[in-house]
Amino acid sequence: MAGQKYPVLIADDHQLILTGLRIVIGESDSFYVCHEGRNGDDVLAGFREKTPRIAVLDIGMPPGTELEDAAERSLVEEMERLGIREISQYGGLVVVSHLKKAYPNVGILIVTQQESPAIISAAARLQVDGVLLKDDVNENIVAALNRIVAGHPVFSEKVQAILEQHRDADPKLSEREWQVFELVAHGFKDKEIAERLDISARTVAFHKGNLKEKLNAETTAELIAYFHERNR
C-alpha cells in the first residue's frame, strides 16, 4: 500500500541513543517509532500494547524483572561459557531469545556498541535479522529497516568482519570435544566429566588428548588457560 509506514519498537538503556533513533526513524517515509523503552519490561509492554513490525534492540540493556528469572538456561550457559556472568551485560539477548519464540514474524535488528566477536556471534546464533554497530546507525538504520521488511538480513561490513574473525579463531572441535573442553576449564575431573556426559573416563581422556593436540597444549593447565583467554 502506497504511503504505508511500518511501526518500529526501539529499546536501549541510553536515552541519547533512543532520541537519535527516534529522530532518524521518524524522518523516514516508511517507518515510525510506535514504542520506546530502556529494558526488557518496557519491550514486553510495547509488544502487548502495540504491533511492531521491527524491534531495534541493544544487547547490553537490562533484561527487566519479568525475563531475568525466566532467562533460558541454554542462553545463560552460553554466556557463562563466554566468561560473561552478569545478565545485565547481555540482557538484550535474553529479550531477543524470548521475542523470537513469542513473536516469530517480527524482525529484530540489534544495534550495539559491543564489538566482542563472541557476543556478536551469540546474537547471530539467535537468528536476529541484523546487527549494526552504533557508530554506523545514523547513516544506515533506515536502509537496514527497509532490507529487513524486504526479507533480507542486515549485517554491516564491520559486523561481518567480526563474525569472520570469530569463525577463523574458532578451533575445529567436535561438539563432544567442546563439552569436555568446557568442563575441564571449569575444574571438573575426568571421572566427574564422564558422569556428567554419560561416557567412560577413558573416553574423556581420549577427548582431552585430542584437545591438547588440536590446541597445541601440553598440559591440562594450558587447556584451561587457553579456554579462559579465548572467552575473556
Question: Which of the listed residues 149, 168, 187 is the one where a domain comes to its end?
Answer: 168
In a domain, 23, yes or no: yes
Query: Bigger pLDDT: 135 or 103?
Result: 103
- CA 52 – CA 173 distance, rounded (Å): 40
3-state helix, strand, coil split of the chain in percent (to 5) is 55, 10, 30
Least confident of 36-40, 119-123, 155-159: 119-123
What pLDDT, in 10s, does the model give residues 137-174? 767 899 999 999 998 988 888 888 877 766 555 567 77
* Mean model confidence pLDDT for the chain: 84
User: Residue 198 maps to which CATH number?
Assistant: 1.10.10.10
What pLDDT, in 10s, does the model give residues 54-101? 999 998 888 888 887 766 666 666 666 555 666 666 788 889 988 998
- CA 124 – CA 156 distance, rounded (Å): 12
Neighbours of 46 (CB within 10 A): 20
Within this chain, do residues 131 and 205 fall inside the same structural domain, yes or no? no
Please say if the pLDDT value at position 223 is more than 90.
no
Single pTM value for the model: 0.69
Within this chain, do residues 120 and 208 fall inside the same structural domain, yes or no? no
The pLDDT value recorded for residue 1 is: 45
User: Residue 85 maps to which CATH number?
Assistant: 3.40.50.2300
The pLDDT value recorded for residue 163 is: 75
Within this chain, do residues 193 and 154 fall inside the same structural domain, yes or no? no
Within this chain, do residues 151 and 190 fall inside the same structural domain, yes or no? no
Within this chain, do residues 99 and 200 fall inside the same structural domain, yes or no? no
The pLDDT value recorded for residue 137 is: 72
Domain with 96 in it: 6-168
Closest CA to 182 of 231, 131, 141: 231
Cβ contacts of 112 within 8 Å, gap of 6 or more: 58, 59, 60, 92, 119, 120, 123, 131, 132, 133, 134
Within this chain, do residues 89 and 196 fall inside the same structural domain, yes or no? no
Mean pLDDT calculated for residue range 204-220: 84
Within this chain, do residues 148 and 211 fall inside the same structural domain, yes or no? no
DSSP assignment, residue 156?
-
Contact, 179 vs 172, CB < 8 A? no
SS3 37: strand
Mean pLDDT calculated for residue range 196-206: 90
Within this chain, do residues 47 and 147 fall inside the same structural domain, yes or no? yes
Within this chain, do residues 189 and 204 fall inside the same structural domain, yes or no? yes
Cβ contacts of 196 within 8 Å, gap of 6 or more: 183, 188
- When divided into structural domains, the chain yields a total of 2
Please say if the pLDDT value at position 45 is more than 60.
yes
The confidence band for 136, taking pLDDT boundaries of 50, 70 and 90, is confident
Within this chain, do residues 136 and 66 fall inside the same structural domain, yes or no? yes
> Based on C-alpha coordinates, what's the Rg of the chain?
20
The confidence band for 31, taking pLDDT boundaries of 50, 70 and 90, is very high
Please say if the pLDDT value at position 109 is more than 90.
yes
Question: Which of the listed residues 168, 194, 220 is the one where a domain comes to its end?
Answer: 168
In a domain, 1, yes or no: no
**Partners of residue 6 on adjacent β-strands:** 31
